A and B are shown apart, each in its own frame.
Chain A
Amino acid sequence: DTGVSQNPRHKITKRGQNVTFRCDPISEHNRLYWYRQTLGQGPEFLTYFQNEAQLEKSRLLSDRFSAERPKGSFSTLEIQRTEQGDSAMYLCASSSNEGATDTQYFGPGTRLTVL
């Protein structure tokens, strides 16, 4: 059973460029989450998918951010016109809503540096 995978692991970009990250959840998990973690802080929730439907978006997710999960499997997070304040670790997590528990399992993250 493979865990959550994310690509790329690191991304360096210049301000104003667009970037896209990919997350592959644990295969049987139908719930997928994106979080952002800045230095010295805990992860902060960005958005949530159940299957292909995006059901929850944080106010942290500005108009420059868009996330998709087209076939209910992998997900992409795109940031348009990146700003230096977007520099952070972007974490993906997945979970299964089988039963009453909902433990989220995290991927290794994509570290974004905006120059």
Chain B
Amino acid sequence: AQKVTQAQTEISVVEKEDVTLDCVYETRDTTYYLFWYKQPPSGELVFLIRRNSFDEQNEISGRYSWNFQKSTSSFNFTITASQVVDSAVYFCALSAPTTSGTYKYIFGTGTRLKVLA
């Protein structure tokens, strides 16, 4: 069965600090996708990144970077020089194939990030 674990329930940092959000996943599929979404107080899930299981290259996008390690089944997310606007709940998700040929997402429980001014 597929599972996503985000062990950090809540993290508080002071503005300009770096912060890493952990994500550990379980799956028996050889082909899968991993995602990070941001959920600000407004409630809408904002897509941040998708990574497929065959691509272990780390990715950097501005202040955001992602570290994907198949050996440890982890897909961690780092925010560099955090800002107050980064305050949100962040979800890691794993794609799971369905019988109808599409993918449903298995989400972790989320990590609430509070960036203090």
B104 in contact with A106 (CB, 8 Å): no
At the interface, yes or no: A45 with Cβ under 8 Å from chain B?
Answer: yes
Q: Is A50 close to B, CB under 8 A?
A: yes
Interface of chain B, helix or strand or loop or mixed? strand
Say which residue of A43, A91, A103, A109 sits within 8 Å of B47 (CB atoms). A103
Please give the number of chain A residues whose Cβ is less than 8 angstroms from any Cβ of chain B in the complex: 27
Count the A-B residue pairs with Cβ separation under 8 angstroms: how many? 66
Interface size on B, residues (CB 8 A): 28
B68 to chain A, nearest CB (A): 16
> With A40-B109, A111-B43 known to touch, is A50 a contact of B33 (CB < 8 Å)?
no
Given contacts A93-B45, A103-B50, A106-B45, 9 further A-B contacts (CB under 8 A): A33-B104, A35-B105, A42-B4, A43-B105, A55-B98, A55-B100, A101-B50, A104-B47, A108-B42
Measured CB to CB, the residues of B under 8 A from A are 4, 33, 35, 37, 42-47, 50, 52, 91, 93, 95, 98-110
